[in-house]
């Protein structure tokens, strides 16, 4: 079977307002909508991205070689979130303080099952990524780009192309993001309190200050 190389689009940088051209948004969104797999930076971290559908999940699992991977959902609006997660008024107010941003949040899943009663979400701050998600008009899933099966993030253009060009449909390189960048902070609010799962780009102190904003009962985590 002949292996087809990915289409590679190389941008030097995004526009001053954080956007990319409408034609490019349409092209990337079209690839995703057709079930294709795209590599692009999400808030400066390169990731393997696809539709939040079972067949696409299987494709990405084969690419990243991580069976049983539970994916983070990328959303561009709270309407997308409402269809998938159960939110209290407190949750909603808190999420509006931290999103869009480099924070992944684990929430109670709507219609969840025993082994999967939670789901992770990300509302990215990158305007170009929000435009792509909105154009697809449904949540996307992603996995960070790593070298092989290790935990070594890939951010150099040559490495991204070399490791993934024969496994995905489209690679969007934005040169200004081809550098090291902290991973997102991961938090869990499924139990009606705040748990810092992983500290990353946004500090735990900042997250706590936003979570407890306006609350009378402040506990130390």
CATH topology of domain 77-121+182-214: DHBP synthase (3.90.870)
Taking Cα atoms as reference points, which of 9, 55, 44, 70 lies closest to residue 145?
Answer: 44
Would you say 200 and 42 are in contact if contact means Cβ atoms under 8 Å apart? no
pTM confidence score: 0.90
Rounded Cα–Cα distance for residues 157 and 173 (Å): 7
The band of 215, judged by pLDDT with boundaries at 50, 70 and 90, is low
The band of 125, judged by pLDDT with boundaries at 50, 70 and 90, is very high
Q: Where are the domains of the chain?
A: 1-74+124-181, 77-121+182-214
Would you say 85 and 108 are in contact if contact means Cβ atoms under 8 Å apart? yes
CATH homologous superfamily of domain 1-74+124-181?
A: DHBP synthase (3.90.870.10)
pLDDT (tens digit, 9 = 90+) per residue, 140-184? 999 999 876 556 789 999 999 999 999 999 999 999 999 999 999
Taking Cα atoms as reference points, which of 155, 90, 157, 80 lies closest to residue 119?
Answer: 80
Q: What angle do helix axes 127-136 and 22-33 make, rounded to 10 degrees?
A: 50
Same fold, 1-74+124-181 and 77-121+182-214: yes
Would you say 189 and 94 are in contact if contact means Cβ atoms under 8 Å apart? yes
pLDDT of residue 147: 76
């Amino acid at each position: 079977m002949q292996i087809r190389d990915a289409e590679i689009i190389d941008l030097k940088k995004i526009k001053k307002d954080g956007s990319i051209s409408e034609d490019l948004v349409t092209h990337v969104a079209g690839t995703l909508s057709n079930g294709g797999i795209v590599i692009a930076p999400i808030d400066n971290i390169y990731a393997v991205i696809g539709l939040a559908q079972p067949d696409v999940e299987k494709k990405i699992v084969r690419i990243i070689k991580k069976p049983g991977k539970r994916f983070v959902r990328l959303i561009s609006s709270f309407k997308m979130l409402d269809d998938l997660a159960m939110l209290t008024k407190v949750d909603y107010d808190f999420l509006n303080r931290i999103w869009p941003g480099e924070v992944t949040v684990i929430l109670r899943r709507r219609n969840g099952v025993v082994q999967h009663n939670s789901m992770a979400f990300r509302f990215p701050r990158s305007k170009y990524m929000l435009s792509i998600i909105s154009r697809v008009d449904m949540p996307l899933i992603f996995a960070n780009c790593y070298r092989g099966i290790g935990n070594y993030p890939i951010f150099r253009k040559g490495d991204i192309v070399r490791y993934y060009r024969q496994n995905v449909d489209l690679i969007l390189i934005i040169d200004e993001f081809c550098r090291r960048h902290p991973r997102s902070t991961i938090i869990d609010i499924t139990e009606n309190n705040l748990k810092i799962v992983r500290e990353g780009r946004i500090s735990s102190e900042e997250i706590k200050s936003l979570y407890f904003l306006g609350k009378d009962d402040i506990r130390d985590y």
